[in-house]
Amino acid sequence: MSDSARKPTSRMLRTTDEDRPFTRDFKDLFSTLMVSLELGPRRVRFSKIDFTFTVEEALNNLSSLRFTQSARMPDPQDPSRIITTTSTTTFTMAKEMAKSIFKDFIHARFLEPLNATFTSLSKSTVCTLTAKGIAVLHRFCNRNGIAAPHVMRVLQSPRNKMTLLILERHLTTDKLLVDRATIEVIFRRFAGAQAPGASNGLPAWDDRTDYPNGLVGVEGIQDMRVSGKKYQYAFSGKSAINWLMDCCTTIDERETYQVCEQFIEHGLIVSIVEDKSYIEENGASALSFQPTRQAIYTLTPRAMKVCGWAVSDRLSDESINRKRESKANDGSSVSSNSATGPTASGDVSNKARLTYILNDPSLRLLFREFLAASFCEENLAFYLDVTEYLDNYKQSKTSGELKDYHKVQDYIAGAFGLYNSFLAPGSPCELNIDHALRNRLSAEMTRLCGDEQTVARNLEEVVNHCQLAQTSIFKLMASDSVPKFCRQPRYAVILQEHDFESVAGNPSRPASPVSTPMKSADR
């Protein structure tokens, strides 16, 4: 038995129109850096702190990072021979760029300096990962099968407790996707699952000093009086920004300002105390969001209904569940245990529902949350990653970019990334696809070598097989995950608002409301 290796070129770091890295690339870069560091204990102010490193160590590693994935497979020409395919991602940057990006990691709340302020960082400054940073690292390691002992010590520690809200983004611009329904999904997490108070055992807002797991709502003040009027739930602009930065996949504070503006626009929060100095200094309107401790906001009656803290005008969960049970008894639900698969009508209806979910950012966000709780989020991750890969590949092919061999190599690197993460036998997020399809894809992956013309033809076959795998995963999610998602009581009211039952009868009906990317804000 002998091994051979294939090493495609590395992936480039994408940047947005605002010259910041794409969120996913930024998180991958951060995680790759953390994996490269020792993350050992150090003494800071007479206390020993675990999982730390110095700024100097980070900058030295950040200047030239390499991340390698390998997958082993039988040679299609000789099953006794094992071929090792290798995909390498390399990040190379000047020292000044490394310093800038490292500071961006701190701004994004991934890292925290322990013995210096942000403005007084030095080479000897000791840093550690925040709960948000650990959560980002955890997702990266799960996806890429990283189990190095020094990393696992971090991931298995009590500090790994954050459940991040994964915000949906535009594939080509990386801007947040927002519409009323998506903003309401974010707001439910922002406010908390239940109204705070002794009746449900949750602490009052003013008792909250941190966000232990991302599931507790924003820090606030209960029963606040302003000008003689009592407000049941209030919070500062700064507290809102802190929650959105600490508990979501935001990496730039400007995005949190925009989300809060949407909260105001959709009638979920209203100002009760203005920060006049902020308005004067920034030339801002009194109606715009003020991200300061002095600015105070309160929840509106509509927000109480959206959060489920007050009786809503929508149908109750109980009545909706009865309706769904009736549908299920009529055979409209699909059983994942059926030996013969779903009925034709059930199959079509659930495919229509899945298409609707994938096209609606608010439902996609909830569906991702549901799949993560069901330990099968990799299905959606693969489907969306392949969609992005195929769209870019088709655009490059149409524009003639694939005549450039370096561009072909970029797509080969992307194919190896998808294969090693999701499709290789024993891969960290191995998908449940047809055995014959997996073998054909493995055989095609081993042929991604040779002269330029041969490689281009073989890449086309790999792309076709990835599309077949994507179709297979779509059918799996439609037949298994979608029916279970629809039966979840916690999503019943939201699905009813989307008139989800009528989707099955009209598969061509587009997702509504239409998703729109956020406009970028000025600094």
Output the pLDDT for position 405.
83
Q: What residue type is 36 in one-letter code? A: S
Residue 360 and residue 515 in contact, taking contact as beta carbons nearer than 8 Å: yes
Most confident of 5-19, 57-71, 76-90, 503-517: 57-71
Q: What is the H or E stretch that residue 465 is in?
A: helix 452-476
Check pLDDT > 60 for residue 416. Answer: yes
3-class state of residue 178 by DSSP: strand
Check pLDDT > 50 for residue 489. Answer: yes
CATH code of the domain containing 499: 1.10.167.10
Residue 30 and residue 101 in contact, taking contact as beta carbons nearer than 8 Å: no
CATH code of the domain containing 237: 1.10.10.10
Residue 205 and residue 230 in contact, taking contact as beta carbons nearer than 8 Å: no
Q: Judge if 465 and 342 occupy the same domain.
A: yes
Q: Where are the beta strands (DSSP E) in 93-209?
A: 111-113, 126-129, 177-178
The answer to whether residue 148 is domain-embedded is yes
* Beta-strand relationship, 78-92 and 64-75: antiparallel
3-class state of residue 39 by DSSP: coil
Residue 49 and residue 41 in contact, taking contact as beta carbons nearer than 8 Å: yes
Q: Judge if 337 and 295 occupy the same domain.
A: no
Check pLDDT > 70 for residue 194. Answer: no
Q: Judge if 287 and 345 occupy the same domain.
A: no
Q: Judge if 45 and 126 occupy the same domain.
A: yes
Q: For 203, which DSSP code?
A: P
The answer to whether residue 169 is domain-embedded is no
Q: Judge if 346 and 451 occupy the same domain.
A: yes
Mark which of 307, 327, 352 sits at the end of a domain: 307
The answer to whether residue 515 is domain-embedded is no
Per-residue pLDDT tens for 145-185? 788 899 999 999 999 999 899 999 988 899 998 889 999 99
**Domain residue limits at 89:** 5-155
Q: Judge if 143 and 64 occupy the same domain.
A: yes
Per-residue pLDDT tens for 306-328? 887 775 554 444 444 444 444 44
Question: pLDDT grade, residue 499 (50/70/90)?
Answer: confident
> Residue 425: how many CB atoms within 10 A of its CB?
12
> Residue 215: how many CB atoms within 10 A of its CB?
14
Q: For 480, which DSSP code?
A: I
Q: Judge if 457 and 337 occupy the same domain.
A: yes
Q: Which residues contact 135 (CB under 8 A, 6 or more apart)?
A: 160, 162, 163, 164, 214
Q: Judge if 286 and 364 occupy the same domain.
A: no
- Closest of 496, 418, 431 to residue 69, by C-alpha: 418
Q: Is the peptide bond before 513 cis (omega within 30 degrees of 0)?
A: yes
Q: For 477, which DSSP code?
A: I
The answer to whether residue 170 is domain-embedded is no
- Summarize the confidence of residues 85-112 as an average pLDDT: 84
Output the pLDDT for position 420.
83
Using only C-alpha atoms, the chain has a radius of gyration, in whole angstroms, of 25
Could you give the CA distance from residue 494 to residue 52 in angstroms, rounded to a whole number? 42
Could you give the CA distance from residue 75 to residue 260 in angstroms, rounded to a whole number? 55
Number of domains in the chain: 3
Could you give the CA distance from residue 403 to residue 151 in angstroms, rounded to a whole number? 41
Question: pLDDT grade, residue 493 (50/70/90)?
Answer: confident
- Summarize the confidence of residues 124-129 as an average pLDDT: 96
The answer to whether residue 141 is domain-embedded is yes
pTM of the model: 0.79
Instruction: Annotate 70-98 with b (16+ C-beta within 10 A) or e (fewer).
Output: bbebbbbeeeeeebebebbbebebeeeeb
- Summarize the confidence of residues 134-147 as an average pLDDT: 89
Residue 65 and residue 33 in contact, taking contact as beta carbons nearer than 8 Å: yes
Per-residue pLDDT tens for 4-54? 444 444 455 678 887 778 999 899 899 999 999 999 999 988 889 999 999
Average pLDDT value over all residues in the chain? 80
Residue 84 and residue 91 in contact, taking contact as beta carbons nearer than 8 Å: no
* Beta-strand relationship, 269-273 and 516-517: unpaired
Output the pLDDT for position 289.
93
Phi, psi of 64 (to 5 degrees): -155, 95
Concatenate the DSSP letters of all residues of 282-349 into one string: HT--TTS---SSS-EEEE-HHHHHHHTSS--SSPPHHHHHHHHHHHHHTT-S--TT-SS---HHHHHH
